[in-house]
Amino acid sequence: MSDCCAPGVRNANGRYDLVVVGAGSAGFSAAIAAAEEGAQVALVGHGTIGGTCVNVGCVPSKTLIRATEAVHQANIASERFAGVEGHGRVSNWSRVAAQKDDLVSGLRQTKYIDLLPEYNNVTYNECAARLVDGGVDADGKLLKSDRIVIATGARPSVPVISGIETVDFLDSTSALALTELPRSMIVLGSGYVGAELAQMFARAGVAVTLIFRSRLLPEAEPEIGEALTRYLAAEGIQIVSGVAYRSVDRTDAGGVVVAYSRGGHPEAITADRLLIATGRTPNTEGLGLSEMGVGQEPSGAIIVDDRMRTSRAGVYAAGDVTGRDQFVYMAAYGAKLAARNALNGNSLRYDSAAMPAVVFTDPQVASVGLTEARARALGHDVRMSVLSLDNVPRALAARDTRGLIKLVADGRTRKFLGAHILAPEGADSIQTAALAIRGGLTIDDLADTIFPYLTTVEGLKLAAQTFDRDVKKLSCCAG
């Protein structure tokens, strides 16, 4: 990595075709896309290279989720399969955490640090950055450019609750860094981070209370949120919904107490630790956005159009800092478009119509396309199909029929509009639905497609057939 103020070898005058601010997944995507087109690029990173996903988000959370899933599967094996006994427990969380850290550092090295020498037209600068007239001020060094991509990401946000600043709460970053497990934990938040981490810690042996204002996974189909709530409760997670927070305070024993009201009645819960999982805040402080006329939402998110352009000519933004579609693959996608548009004339449009999304609970939640409510709001003549997993042979063979598949279609054109899956292996099925939506297929196309037997993805075919037929009256693979 180069020193902050050292110019690139071929940029002694400090001028670049593109300056990218942010060295996470989005920033690297923009820099590589530009470099592959022959552009001279300055990449400015501040903090741990690689950003959220590899360091404190996707990678560490999913490996810990998988570890505790193995514990859970061992413990319930005898309930599902006759003649099988199993027992699992976390015997040493610090070793689990150390293995996670090894994976994170390895991926950070191979997928970020080691990539920089492969692109000799990318100059890396490790320092704070600020937009100024003529380019970017990188800790006192002017990186001259008419084109800038901002990809500084986001961080966990903290809700406004009386007393919250007085307790040593965890966020998703610090929770994943724990080397010892608490005996009990309150998880605040109903989104995917709260749901994933609540189940993970519960399976590791922590007594977990999941508390939130509205309903679990409020952006998911109601049937899925309701079903997942039941499944988490069945695993021993205490779920408290529909609350209004009153205060947070420390207990005499060194724990935390959350006071709230529900149905007009004051209540409180206590635990050793509090985990805040109530959303994310864009990293925009110190970038000089208002001074440079870059428009922002009240949340701080940078406003962009469908070409990733901000309100200032020549300045683009992508990834979590824009507040849209906060998934690492969408950040990389948007950043690539931003870089190419900046260099080549704004011809590429951001399109998330076939964007798959996954929540790594167990069962997994996977979705793509329109929800029922969104389809109705857009004026479609909505038809739906809801198939419980006890109609899917794979689920029967695995003796785990938790979940459902919901498809949304236009009743007039029969065009396939959306798929929403709750299934233990649902994440690996959603891409088929994404391709179907991208290809403009109908539910008839999906129903007539050949699917392999005894797979979860076969449930898509069965759910498509359910629009017009009773699949209980079909033999295996019929239709």
Q: Is 323 annotated as a binding residue?
A: no
CA-CA distance, 216 to 227, in Å (whole number)?
Answer: 10
CA-CA distance, 246 to 460, in Å (whole number)?
Answer: 44
Q: Is 320 annotated as a binding residue?
A: yes
CA-CA distance, 471 to 479, in Å (whole number)?
Answer: 9
Q: Is 295 annotated as a binding residue?
A: no
What is the three-class DSSP state of 457?
Answer: coil
Query: Terminus-to-terminus CA distance in the chain, angstroms?
Result: 59
Element (H, E) at 34: helix 25-36
How large is the angle between the packed helices 58-80 and 192-203, nearest 10 degrees?
50
Q: What is the dihedral of CA 441, 447, 448, 454, to 10 degrees?
A: 120
CA-CA distance, 323 to 303, in Å (whole number)?
Answer: 8
Q: Is 410 annotated as a binding residue?
A: no
Q: Is 190 annotated as a binding residue?
A: yes
Q: Is 415 annotated as a binding residue?
A: no
Q: Is 193 annotated as a binding residue?
A: yes
> Residue 66 contacts by C-beta under 8 Å, 6 or more apart in sequence?
none
CA-CA distance, 102 to 72, in Å (whole number)?
Answer: 23
Phi-psi region of 149 (alpha: psi -120 to 50; beta: other; left: phi over 0): beta
Q: Is 195 annotated as a binding residue?
A: yes
Q: Is 406 annotated as a binding residue?
A: no
Q: Is 91 annotated as a binding residue?
A: no
> Residue 293 contacts by C-beta under 8 Å, 6 or more apart in sequence?
311, 312
Q: Is 191 annotated as a binding residue?
A: yes
Annotated binding-site ranges = 62, 189-196, 279, 320
Annotated binding-site ranges for FAD = 62, 320
Annotated binding-site ranges for NAD(+) = 189-196, 279
